[in-house]
């Protein structure tokens, strides 16, 4: 699941899914009020049970403010729109292993706000909510089909879903304590841009956690080409050393990095990095 960068500086405007928003963007009494949006132009849409469904272009229910917009029809979006209905069953072993390793390495009871970049069906956000019930969770993904699934998975959770990309996050500077990217890195043409954006939205001392896969053997252009035969959006598998370098170049301090086994064909990588603790 992924919210890839677009490779262009003038990306299409994403649309958000805000459970607390009603007409004109007002918050429901007693609910969380979102921080100022960045960049301007994101349109909130209701996530309450009576809200309408996705119409193939954007989430609609009559409460949209500002201009409408949607993410470009990228190969990643098309792939995951196609996989959405069967994703959990198709990739259950992979997600169980990779998300389990990620969650095992996150400190408990320290995150007040969490953003999952490439949130897919919402599985990781649901597990993070179980682990951090006090946290407000945000998810962003390029695939409308996956967001449709996440909308069901996260019904009733204190959180927001956004249709958008990793290089233009719809959150204010220093607004979250944890950013996760699960199975996103291999889709990014400009991973440094996505990591700089993650650093922007992290509060001082916040954590960026990346988990991804890498083939056991034969990594390189040939293997990546074979992967693209079934996953057209795949760019390149990256190892721990390269991920470490990307995060460091983005101004983050790597605090943990290791490789782990997923199955006979693939290893996983986990890299945790912290933003500066200076205010």
Residue 5: which of 141, 190, 185 has the closest Cα?
190
What confidence score (pLDDT) does residue 218 get? 62
The pLDDT of residue 258: 97
Indicate the pairing of strand 176-182 with strand 202-215.
parallel
CATH number of residue 128's parent domain: 3.40.50.150
For residue 87, what pLDDT is reported? 86
pTM score, whole prediction = 0.76
pLDDT at 108: 75
Establish if 120 belongs to a structural domain: yes
Positive/negative CA dihedral, 182, 187, 192, 198: negative
The per-residue pLDDT for 261 is 96
Query: Is residue 3 situated within a structural domain?
Result: no
Q: What is the pLDDT of residues 161-205, one digit of tens each?
A: 999 999 999 999 999 999 999 999 999 999 999 999 999 999 999
How confident is the prediction for the chain on average, in pLDDT? 77
Taking residues 137-164, what's their average pLDDT?
94
pLDDT in tens, 225-265: 888 888 888 999 999 999 999 999 999 999 999 999 999 98
Candidates 121, 123, 195, 126; CA nearest to 159 is 126
Instruction: Give the model's pLDDT for residue 219.
Output: 60
Structural domain contains residue 37: yes
- Which structural domain range is residue 243 located in? 15-274
Whether 27 maps to a domain, the answer reads yes
Is residue 5 domain-resident? no
Per-residue pLDDT tens over the stretch 200-217:
999 999 999 999 999 987
Mean pLDDT of 66-91: 69
- Is residue 4 a part of any domain in this protein? no
- Preceding peptide of 185 cis, ω within 30°: no
Domains identified in the chain, total number: 1
Q: Is residue 10 part of a domain?
A: no
Beta strands, E only, 5-135: 15-17, 113-117
Please give the residue that has the higher pLDDT: either 44 or 221. 221
Instruction: Give a yes or no: residue 31 inside a domain.
Output: yes
């Amino acid at each position: 699941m992924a919210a890839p960068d677009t490779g262009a500086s003038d990306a299409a405007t994403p649309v958000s899914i805000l459970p607390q928003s009603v007409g004109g963007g007002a918050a429901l009494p007693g609910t969380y009020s979102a921080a100022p949006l960045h960049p301007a132009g994101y349109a909130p849409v209701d996530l309450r049970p009576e809200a309408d469904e996705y119409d193939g272009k954007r989430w609609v229910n009559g409460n949209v403010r500002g201009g409408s917009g949607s993410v470009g029809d990228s190969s990643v979006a098309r792939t995951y729109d196609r996989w959405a209905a069967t994703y959990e069953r198709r990739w259950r072993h992979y997600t169980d292993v990779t998300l389990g390793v990620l969650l095992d390495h996150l400190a408990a009871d320290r995150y007040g706000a969490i953003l999952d970049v490439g949130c897919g069906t919402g599985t990781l956000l649901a597990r993070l909510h179980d682990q951090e019930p006090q946290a407000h969770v945000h998810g962003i993904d390029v695939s409308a089909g996956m967001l449709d699934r996440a909308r069901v998975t996260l019904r009733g959770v204190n959180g927001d879903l956004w249709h958008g990309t990793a290089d233009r996050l719809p959150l204010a500077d220093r607004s979250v304590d944890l950013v996760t990217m699960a199975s996103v890195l291999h889709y990014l043409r400009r991973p440094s841009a996505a990591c700089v954006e993650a650093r922007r939205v992290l509060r001082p001392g916040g954590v960026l956690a990346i988990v991804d896969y890498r083939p056991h053997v034969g990594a390189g252009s040939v293997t990546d080409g074979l992967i693209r035969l079934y996953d057209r959006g795949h760019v390149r598998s990256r190892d721990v050393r390269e991920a470490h370098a990307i995060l460091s170049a983005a101004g983050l301090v790597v605090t943990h990095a290791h490789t782990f086994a997923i199955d006979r064909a693939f290893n996983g990588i986990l890299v945790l990095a912290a933003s500066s603790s200076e205010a």
